[in-house]
């Protein structure tokens, strides 16, 4: 309890200082969310209910026209049956969200509760003219394709983790130099104890034929990686692609990954997109349950050899929208992932979401081993 009070006092002091002393130099925002999760695990004849209260605080301090400091906190209270059934739950969330540095703190835990706080952004940035230098925990967003990003070598993420909008960060150094209005050269180095665990890569962005292109080259965890990506239009439809080759060193397997996507906004404000992914390391017969426990990295973004993606978004009313995403892999087990959702704007700064995740695959017959329903309410400030 003392630790909780200390953190509350620190946050209160920062807010008071920002509002009274240097209001023009501070930018503070965040949100408070409640997420209720209901799982049905048919293979185990098990039903699980979980709760998550999530507070986020984003703090940015403009120390000088050329210098910016940013620190963002995730404060999460987990409770429910999944916490009770998983003795290592606290260690799992700590390892899953930290990078080289451990910037987290477990404030309280019991047999069914875990209160966890961490900094998922903590960096200092220098910018002048065409040069930007950023050091610390940050999001290095090199992905250009909508669904799968083989170029996201520093902080790959899973699209099933819909509740983490900000996405993971890396403890790294990033240097960016703008060579033109739509072109730049970037170099990034990720912290690691050994070169085999490290990542160092460069990215060149440029515009040609009304398309934005990027070329990636670097070293990723004992792999040499290179690839190209693009974003442009075919008439009124958006067209994006992202491809990469990972050449394994020593005993590492080489791999080739690629993704293509087309999206279009119809005249009635409906939104549709189609995508394709190829992963040479992916399985051709694993069950759909591997979707939640495979080893995720930019070298292995999806557990299957190939996948087709379809999504459709529909504005039901000015304050309500519905969407449906479908991912199907044309492999032996025929894994199918359905992701329906509805969003309601219930008041100023308040949103309500209903989200489903339903998994299917085929053994002797087609069936669903896992279904999940999520209810989320969010207040933004």
pLDDT band at 23 (very low <50, low <70, confident <90, very high): low
Average the pLDDT over 227-252 and give the result. 94
Give residue-wise pLDDT tens across range 93-119: 888 778 999 999 999 988 889 999 999
pLDDT the model gives residue 252: 87
Reported residue count of the chain is 381
| Distance from C-alpha of 304 to C-alpha of 152, rounded to nearest angstrom | 18
| Distance from C-alpha of 240 to C-alpha of 262, rounded to nearest angstrom | 7
pLDDT the model gives residue 24: 65
pLDDT the model gives residue 251: 83
pLDDT the model gives residue 204: 98
Average the pLDDT over 290-298 and give the result. 83
Average the pLDDT over 292-311 and give the result. 90
Is the pTM of the predicted complex or chain greater than 0.85? yes
CA distance readout (Å), 335 to 44, 182, 257, 329, 338: 19, 40, 19, 6, 10
Domains of the chain from N-terminus onward: 24-380 (2.40.160.10)
| Distance from C-alpha of 7 to C-alpha of 13, rounded to nearest angstrom | 10
| Distance from C-alpha of 4 to C-alpha of 299, rounded to nearest angstrom | 39
State how far Cα 69 lies from the chain centre: 22
**21 pLDDT higher than 70:** no
pLDDT the model gives residue 16: 47
**35 pLDDT higher than 90:** yes
| Distance from C-alpha of 330 to C-alpha of 362, rounded to nearest angstrom | 11
Contact 154, 199 (CB under 8 A): yes
Average the pLDDT over 8-28 and give the result. 58
Task: Please report how many Cα atoms fall inside a 13 Å half-sphere around the Cα of residue 319, on the Cβ side.
Answer: 9
pLDDT band at 6 (very low <50, low <70, confident <90, very high): very low
pLDDT the model gives residue 316: 93
pLDDT the model gives residue 2: 43
pLDDT the model gives residue 75: 96
Give the whole-number percent of the chain exceeding pLDDT 70: 94
pLDDT the model gives residue 217: 98
pLDDT the model gives residue 290: 77
Give the whole-number percent of the chain exceeding pLDDT 90: 72
Task: Please report how many Cα atoms fall inside a 13 Å half-sphere around the Cα of residue 230, on the Cβ side.
Answer: 12
Give residue-wise pLDDT tens across range 144-163: 988 899 999 998 888 888 99
**4 pLDDT higher than 70:** no
pLDDT the model gives residue 22: 52
pLDDT the model gives residue 7: 45
Q: What are phi and psi of 247, to 5 degrees?
A: -90, 110
3-state secondary structure of 91: helix
Average the pLDDT over 220-234 and give the result. 96
Contact 173, 211 (CB under 8 A): no
Give residue-wise pLDDT tens across range 314-357: 999 999 999 999 999 998 889 999 999 999 999 999 999 999 99
Segment among 4-8, 191-195, 273-277 with least mean pLDDT: 4-8
Q: Give the closest residue to 310 by CA, choosing from 340, 345, 266, 344.
A: 340
Q: What are phi and psi of 24, to 5 degrees?
A: -75, -15
């Amino acid at each position: 309890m003392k630790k909780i009070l200390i953190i509350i006092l620190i946050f209160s002091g920062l807010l008071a200082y920002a509002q009274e002393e240097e209001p023009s130099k501070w930018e503070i925002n965040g949100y408070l969310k409640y997420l209720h999760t209901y799982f049905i695990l048919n293979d185990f004849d098990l039903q699980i209910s979980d709760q998550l209260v999530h507070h986020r605080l984003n703090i940015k301090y403009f120390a000088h026209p050329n210098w910016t400091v940013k620190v963002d906190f995730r404060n999460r209270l987990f409770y429910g049956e999944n916490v009770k059934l998983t003795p290592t739950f606290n260690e799992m969330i700590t390892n899953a969200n930290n990078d080289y540095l451990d910037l987290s703190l477990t404030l309280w835990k019991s047999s069914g509760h875990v209160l966890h706080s961490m900094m998922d952004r903590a960096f200092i940035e220098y910018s002048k003219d065409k040069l930007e230098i950023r050091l610390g925990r940050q999001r290095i967003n090199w992905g250009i394709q909508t669904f799968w990003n083989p170029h996201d070598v520093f902080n790959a993420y899973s699209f099933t983790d819909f509740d983490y909008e900000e996405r993971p960060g890396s403890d790294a150094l990033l240097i960016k130099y703008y060579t033109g209005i739509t072109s730049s050269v970037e170099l990034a180095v990720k912290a690691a104890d050994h070169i085999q665990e490290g990542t160092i890569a460069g990215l060149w962005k440029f515009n040609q034929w009304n398309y934005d292109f990027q070329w990636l080259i670097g070293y990723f965890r004992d792999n040499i990686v290179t690839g190209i990506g693009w974003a442009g239009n075919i008439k009124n439809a958006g067209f994006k692609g992202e491809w990469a080759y990972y050449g394994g060193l020593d005993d590492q397997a080489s791999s080739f990954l690629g993704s293509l996507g087309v999206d279009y906004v119809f005249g009635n404000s409906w939104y549709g997109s189609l995508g394709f992914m190829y992963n040479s390391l992916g399985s051709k017969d694993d069950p759909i349950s591997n979707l939640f426990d495979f080893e995720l990295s930019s070298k292995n973004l999806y557990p299957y050899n190939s996948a087709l993606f379809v999504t459709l978004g529909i504005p039901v009313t000015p304050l309500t929208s519905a969407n449906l995403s479908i991912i199907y892999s044309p492999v032996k087990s025929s894994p199918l992932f359905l992701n329906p959702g509805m969003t309601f704007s219930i008041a100023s700064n308040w949103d309500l979401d209903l989200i489903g995740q339903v998994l299917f695959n085929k053994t002797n017959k087609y069936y669903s081993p896992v279904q999940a329903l999520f209810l989320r309410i969010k207040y933004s400030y």
